């Protein structure tokens, strides 16, 4: 019985060590994912940039989020300056939303995948 108890105890120690390791790594991973996710929510893309997050995953998504935000502002300015383009307002909103969702899905999958059109411009940003 004692040998069995010893084996069980050793097995429990290993499980406990694994659980502790996961608990130590999880908060950092959650923080990284949150910072990458907010990169695709309009002006919130500035938070990871201003905090100067050093994580490559966060930087990648922050750059894409910044280009997406700048392109949205530019599109709104163009639509606002040319009244004939007001019919495109809904299209601008839908395109921005779809690209944001693509970025968010990439974050949730843990992928550093470029957003169509936006990704090529994001590569050129250095910070």
* Model pLDDT for residues 60-95, shown as the tens digit of each residue: 999 999 999 999 999 888 888 888 888 888 888 899
Spatial distance between the Cα atoms of 42 and 70, rounded to a whole number of angstroms = 9
Question: Where in the chain are the domains?
Answer: 2-122
From residue 77, give the alpha-carbon distance in Å to each of 34, 48, 71, 89, 126: 30, 25, 10, 11, 25
pLDDT at residue 10 tops 70: no
Q: Please give the structure tokens belonging to residue 28.
A: 């950092």
Q: Identify the pLDDT of residue 82.
A: 86
* Model pLDDT for residues 22-32, shown as the tens digit of each residue: 556 567 778 88
How remote is the C-alpha of 127 from its chain's centroid?
16
pLDDT range class, residue 17, cuts 50, 70, 90: low
Long-range residue pairs from 57-60, CB within 8 A, at least 24 positions apart, any chain: 57/32, 57/110, 57/112, 58/32, 59/127, 60/36, 60/112, 60/122
> What count of other Cβ atoms lies within 10 Å of the Cβ of residue 118?
19
Residue 18's contacts (CB-CB under 8 Å, 6 or more residues apart) are none
pLDDT range class, residue 1, cuts 50, 70, 90: very low
DSSP label of 86 = G
């Amino acid at each position: 019985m004692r040998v069995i108890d010893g084996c069980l105890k050793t097995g429990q120690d290993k499980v406990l060590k694994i659980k502790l390791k996961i608990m130590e790594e999880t908060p950092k991973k959650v923080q990284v994912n949150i910072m990458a996710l907010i990169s695709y929510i309009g002006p919130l893309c500035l938070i990871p940039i201003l905090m100067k997050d050093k994580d490559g995953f966060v930087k990648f998504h922050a750059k894409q989020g910044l280009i997406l935000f700048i392109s949205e502002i530019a599109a709104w300015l163009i639509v606002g300056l040319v009244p004939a383009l007001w019919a495109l307002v809904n299209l601008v909103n839908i395109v921005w939303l779809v690209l944001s969702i693509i970025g968010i899905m990439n974050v949730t999958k843990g992928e550093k995948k470029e957003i169509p059109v936006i990704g090529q411009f994001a590569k050129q940003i250095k910070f």
